[in-house]
Homo-oligomer: A and B are copies of this chain.
Amino acid sequence: MYPTTVKNLIECLKKLSGIGEKTAERLALSILNLDDDVIKVFEQSLKDAKTKIRRCKICNNLAEDELCNICSDKTRDKKTICVVENIKNIIAIEKTNCYHGVYHVLDGLISPLDGKNPDDINIKSLFDRVDNGEVLEIIFALTPSVESETTSLYISKKLENKNIKISKIAHGVPLGADMEYIDGLTLEMALENRKYINE
């Protein structure tokens, strides 16, 4: 019923994560209303997405050169590596403006049940970084789950004899959250990791 061009747009949009038929239709129609210059930038960015964008040789973050913005930044502390599951986690942490080390993107977690072994995610290059560099601390910033526990445990074990500090970010009740609505597991963690304030 739609003209072929619109149909093609809808088909492409439907391939994106979380986009169903209805949303794809809405987006395709609103693409038709975009200004000419926006469409040009959009077109060029799509082209560049496949040709220019690659992964950073060191940390596996998105990059347009051999190294990503963070790894090529001389002011960043290369001795602290924050291990994250995916690229979006880096953005979230960068937005806080309080971390000045570098990152390591695993692109997944160890999950034997899903057939994901240590070799299937970007772990080996982390050990290479430890072997080659002067890494002092590794911080795991992973969403709490069985898989993330397995992954951080696996990495910690492998680095046991390396004299590196290994930590994970604190899990607990988020700021502004209503105690009533916090799930039991989070509360349990929050209680376990309680901080004494009268010491």
Contacts and interface: CB of A to CB of B under 8 A. Distances in A.
Interface of A: 1-6, 8-9, 11-12, 15-19, 23, 25-27, 29-32, 34, 36, 38-39, 41-50, 52-53, 62-64, 68-70, 87-88, 90-91, 94-95
Q: Which of A6, A29, A49 has the largest count of B CB atoms less than 10 A from its CB? A: A49
A73 B16 CA distance: 33
B6 A62 contact: yes
Copies in the complex: 2
A38 B14 CA distance: 11
Nearest to A36: B50
The residue in A12, A48, A90 that gathers the most chain B C-beta atoms within 10 A of its C-beta is: A12
Given A1-B69, A62-B32, A26 B17 contact: yes
Contacts of A63: 3
Nearest to A43: B46
Given A32-B53, A50-B39, A16 B27 contact: yes
A34 B15 contact: yes
A174 to B, nearest CB: 17
Given A16-B27, A29-B88, A6 B53 contact: yes
Which 8 pairs, one residue from A and one from B, show the smallest C-beta to C-beta distance? Answer: A12-B42, A17-B30, A5-B48, A8-B45, A3-B64, A9-B45, A16-B30, A1-B94
Given A9-B49, A32-B62, A36-B50, 9 more contacts: A3-B52, A3-B53, A4-B64, A5-B48, A6-B45, A9-B45, A12-B41, A12-B42, A25-B91
B1 A90 contact: yes
B3 A87 contact: no
Contacts of A12: 34, 38, 41-42, 45
